[in-house]
Amino acid sequence: MLDFIKLVLAKIFIVSLLAMPSAVYAAGITFTNFKLVGDVPKYKALTGVEFDLTNYLQNALDNGVALKARVQFRLIEDQAWWFNKESTLLTIHYQLKYHALSQHYLLTRNDTNEHWNFSTLSATLRKLGELRQYHLPDIPPPLDGSNYSILAVADMEPETLRLPLRIQSLFSNKYRLSSEAVLWPLR
Least confident stretch, 7-16, 71-80, 127-136:
7-16
Domain ranges, ordered by start, for the chain: 26-186
How far separated are the first and last CA of the chain, in Å rounded? 60
Report helix, strand or coil for 64.
coil
Question: pLDDT tens digits, residue range 21-54?
Answer: 333 335 689 998 888 888 777 888 888 899 999 8
CA–CA distance, 85 with 147 (Å, rounded to integer):
11
Q: How far is residue 5's CA from residue 22's CA, in Å, rounded to a whole number?
A: 27
Dump pLDDT digits (tens) for 129-176.
988 778 888 887 766 656 888 899 999 988 875 556 556 555 565 677
What is the Cα–Cα distance from 75 to 39, expressed in whole angstroms? 15
Q: Which CATH architecture has domain 26-186?
A: Sandwich (2.60)
Closest residue by Cα to residue 99 from 117, 113, 114, 111: 117
Bridge partners of 58?
A: none
Side chain identity at 96, as an amino acid letter? L
Q: Is the pTM of this model over 0.85?
A: no
∠ CA 162-167-172, nearest 5°, is: 110
Cα–Cα distances (Å) from 9 to 18, 152, 170, in that order, read 14, 43, 41
